[in-house]
Chain A
Amino acid sequence: MRTTTKALMVLLTLSTAACTRPDRFGDEADGSGVSAGPVAAAPAPLSGANDPASPEFFAQTIGDRVLFAVDSSTLTDAGKATLDGQATWLSTNSDYLAIIEGHADEQGTREYNLALGARRANAVREYLVSKGVPSTRMRTISYGKERPIELCADEACYSKNRRAVTIISSGGLS
C-alpha cells in the first residue's frame, strides 16, 4: 500500500516535469533536469550504474534486452534468464514502470516488421507477467526496423537488432 502511494506520488511529481521517456520518443535534449531515479528517494550512497536500484544498473548489469532468431518472437533460454533478472528487479524496485520496445532487423517489409516487433515486445511482457510483474506497470511499443542499433548489413548486426528492450521509466506509460 505504501509502495503504491509512493509510486503514485512519483508519477504525479513527474507528470509536471519534463518528459522522462527515452530520447528516441522525441527531440528533448539531454540535461532536461530530470533525474533518472525516483525523485522522492533520499540521496543514495551509490549512484548511477553502481546503484542496484538505478535504471542504469538495470540496463547494464541486469540486462535490458533479449534477442530473437530471424522472424521469431520465441524467447531463448538466455533471454528467459535475463527476463528472470528483470522481473526480480522490477519487483524490488516497484516505483518504476517499464516500456518494452520490440525491434526487427531490416530484412523485412516495414509493416510486417512493426507487427513482428509488437509480437516480440509482447512475448517479453507476458513472460514478466508470468513472473509476477503487474501488467499495469508495463506498456509495449514496436519500432519495427526503424531504430537499428547495429548498422552493418550482415548477421552479426542483424542478430543484435532483433531485440526487445525494457526501458525503465519513472514517468507515465502513455
Chain B
Amino acid sequence: MVVRFLTILMMCLFAGASVAQDGPLRLTITDGVIEPLPFAVVPFVAETGEAEQLAGDITRLVAQDLNNTGLFREIPANAFISVPATFSEALPYTDWRAINAQAVIRGAVSVSGDQMAVKFRLYDVFSGEELGEGLQFAGTVQGWRRMAHKVADAAYSRITGEGGYFDSRVVYVAESGTKGQRLKRLAIMDFDGANVQFLTDSAAIVLAPRFSPNGDRVLYTSYETGFPRINVLDVASVGRQQLATAPGEMAFSPRFSRDASKVIYSLANGGNTDLYITDLTTGQNQRLTTAPSIETAPSFSPDGSQIVFESDRSGSQQLYIMSTSGGEARRISFGDGRYGSPVWSPRGDQIAFTNQNAGRFHIGVMRTDGTEERLLTSSSLDEGPSWSPNGRVIMFTRETLGETGTSSLWSVDIAGRNLRQVVSNASDPAWGPLQP
C-alpha cells in the first residue's frame, strides 16, 4: 500500500491550526475549510440518442450541487486537456493532475421510453484510483434532477465521509400578496428550489410546516377553522386532517418526534402558552410545562429523550432543555439579547436558534450545553432555522422590512460561510430527510 500525503489547507477556527492529512482523498469538513477542493465533471456520455440533452443537464446539475456547497470548486470544462469519449475508457490521470483537479466525476446516461439510468464513477486523481465503486441509478426521465442529486450526494459523501443533502426536499410557506394581507400556502420543493408543488390553497393562513422524520407527512398550523389549529397532511395524497390535540384555544408550533409516534406543540389557554405532547398511537395528551410564562417552539433531541424550547420565564425569551418526561428545565442561552425557535441538530450535538439583539436578527448555533455559541447571519429579520439532513447547512427565513418587504429562504453552512438565497417569496422552511 502506497501511503500518500494529501494536504488540504484547513484552518480550524478554534484550534487555530492547519492540519495535514494523509490517506486517500478526503475533505474533512471542519468549521474552517477555506480552500475549496478543485474537482472536474467530465461531460456525462449519452449512451442513447434521446439521452443527449439529459446528459448535459445532469452534468451541469451535479457540478452545481457540489459547487454550491462552498466546499468544492469546479474546474471549467474549457480547461480540460482531454475528454474521454466513452464511459469505459481509462481516465488519463496525468491530464487531470496537470489542471490540479483533485477529484473527477464521470458518468453516462441512457434513456429507454420514460425510463432512464445514470452511471457514474468518482476518481481520486492524485492517487490515480477510483474512489469507491461505480454506481448506477435508475428512474423516470421526469425525475432526472433526483438522479443528478444522487450522483452529487454520492460524490460528496465519498469525499467528505459524511452524508449528503442534495436529494432532499423542503416544505415551506409560499407567499404572495401585499404585506398587510399576505397570502400563504404550503408548498414543497427540491432543496435547490426546483419542482415546486403546492400542498394547500391560500384561503387560510398557514404557518411553520414540519416534516415527519421520513418525509411522508407534514404538520403545520392552519387558520382554516378561523382559529389556529394543527393539521397533519399526507404528502403523497395531499389529504389533510386536524390533529386531535389537548383541549385549548389555540394550538401551534408542532413538531414530530424522531420516531413519528408523537407530536409536541404549544397550546394557548387563557393567554398562557405551554408545551404538550400528543401520542398519535394512543391519543393521550401529556402536559409538559405549567408555568405562567410562554413556552413554545419545542424540538426533540434525536434520541427523543429531551426537548429544547424557548420560554420567557426569566423575563425574556431564552432557550431551555428538559427531559421529555418532564421535570426541571435547564437554561442554555446566556448571550446578549433574546433567543427563540431552537432546533436540535440531526447529530444531536448542536442547537440552531434565532437570536434577536439590538434591532438585528441572527441565525446561530451552540452546543447543547450552551457553549461555543456562534452567530452565523445578521439582518433586519432572520428567523426559523432548519437543519439539512447531514447537519452541515441551515436554511432559514430572511425578511426585508417595510411596506414592500418580502420573505425569502436562505441557506448558510454551520461555519457561517456560503450564505445564499434559495427562493424568494417564501418563509418557514423545514428541510426533510434524504430521499430513499
A and B, one complex? yes
A111 and B266 form a contact (CB under 8 A): yes
Report the minimal beta-carbon distance from A150 to chain B, rounded to whole angstroms.
Answer: 8
Closest 5 CB pairs of A and B: A122-B271, A153-B401, A109-B340, A115-B273, A118-B268
* Residues from chain A with Cβ under 8 Å of B296 in the complex: 111-112, 114-115
Tell me whether A43 is interfacial, beta carbon within 8 Å: no
Write the nearest CB–CB distance from A5 to chain B, whole angstroms. Answer: 26
User: Are A118 and B356 in contact, CB atoms less than 8 angstroms apart?
Assistant: no
Known contacts A111-B297, A153-B402: does B310 contact A146 (CB below 8 Å)? no
Contact in complex: A151, B252 (CB < 8 Å): no
Contact A27 B226 (CB under 8 A): no
Contact B227 A153 (CB under 8 A): no
B126 interfacial by beta-carbon distance below 8 Å: no
Q: Chain A contacts of B356 at CB under 8 A?
A: 107-109
What 0/1 pattern do residues 57 to 77 of A give for CB contact below 8 A with B? Answer: 000000000000001010000
Task: List residues of chain A with CB within 8 A of the CB of B402.
Answer: 151-153
B166-210 with Cβ < 8 A to chain A: 179-182, 203-205, 207-208
Encode contact with A along B113-149: 1 for CB under 8 Å, 0 otherwise: 0000000000000000000000000000000000000
Q: Which one of A109, A111, A121, A140 lies within 8 Å of B252 (CB-CB)?
A: A111
Q: Mark A102-123, 1 if CB is under 8 A from B, else 0.
A: 0000111111101110111111
List the A side residues contacting B181 at CB < 8 Å.
Answer: 24, 147
Contact between B204 and A151, CB atoms less than 8 A apart? no
Residues on B with beta carbons closer than 8 Å to the beta carbon of A111: 208, 252-253, 266, 296-297, 310, 340-341
Q: Are A112 and B297 in contact (CB under 8 A)?
A: yes
Chain B residue with Cβ nearest A107? B356
Which of A26, A108, A147, A153 touches B180 (beta carbons < 8 Å)? A147
* Residue ID in chain A nearest B274 by CB atoms: A115
A142 touches B228 (CB 8 A): yes
Q: Please state if A141 and B227 are interface contacts (CB–CB under 8 Å).
A: yes
Complex Cα gap A122–B381 (Å): 27
Across the interface, do A116 and B294 meet the contact criterion of CB distance under 8 Å? yes
Q: Which residues of B contact A (CB under 8 A)?
A: 179-182, 203-205, 207-208, 223, 225-228, 249-250, 252-253, 266, 268, 270-273, 294, 296-297, 310, 312, 316-317, 340-341, 354, 356, 359, 380-381, 383-384, 399, 401-403, 405, 428
The reply on A49 being an interface residue by CB < 8 A is no
Which of B205, B250, B310 is in CB contact (< 8 Å) with A112?
B310
Given contacts A106-B381, A106-B401, A109-B341, contact A115 B205 (CB under 8 A): no
A25 to B223, Cβ gap below 8 A? yes
Q: Is A8 part of the binding interface, using a Cβ–Cβ cutoff of 8 Å?
A: no
With A111-B253, A148-B180 already in contact, the answer to whether A73 and B271 are too (CB < 8 A) is: yes
Instruction: Quote the shortest CB–CB distance from A135 to chain B (angstroms).
Output: 10
Find chain B residues with CB under 8 A from A106 CB.
381, 399, 401
B403 touches A151 (CB 8 A): yes
For B225, list chain A residues within 8 Å (CB): 174
Q: Jot down 30 A-B pairs with beta carbons below 8 A, ordered by A.
A: A25-B223, A107-B359, A108-B317, A109-B340, A109-B341, A109-B354, A109-B384, A110-B341, A110-B383, A110-B384, A111-B208, A111-B297, A114-B228, A114-B252, A114-B273, A118-B249, A118-B271, A122-B272, A139-B227, A140-B271, A142-B250, A146-B182, A146-B205, A147-B180, A147-B181, A148-B179, A151-B179, A151-B402, A153-B401, A174-B225
Find chain A residues with CB under 8 A from B207 CB. Answer: 110, 114, 146
Complex CA gap A21/B223 in Å reads: 13
A81 within 8 A of B: no
Nearest residue in A to B183 (C-beta to C-beta)?
A27
Please tell me if A149 contacts chain B, counting CB pairs below 8 Å: yes
Which residues of chain B have C-beta atoms less than 8 A from A110's C-beta?
207-208, 341, 383-384, 428
In the bound complex, do residue A151 and residue B294 qualify as a contact, i.e. CB atoms below 8 Å apart? Answer: no
B268 x A115 contact (CB < 8 A): yes
Complex Cα spacing A119 to B294, Å = 9
CA distance A147 to B340 in the complex (A): 21
Across the interface, which residues of A come within 8 angstroms of B405, CB to CB? 151, 153
Pick the contact of A27 from B180, B182, B203 — CB < 8 Å?
Answer: B203
Residues of A within 8 A of B227 (CB): 139, 141, 174
Residue of B with least CB distance to A140: B249
Contacts of A71 in B (CB 8 A): 316
Cβ of B417 to closest chain A Cβ, rounded Å: 24
Extra 17 A-B pairs, beta carbons < 8 Å, given A109-B384, A112-B297: A26-B226, A106-B399, A111-B296, A111-B297, A111-B310, A114-B253, A114-B266, A118-B249, A118-B271, A119-B273, A121-B271, A142-B250, A148-B180, A151-B402, A151-B405, A152-B403, A174-B226
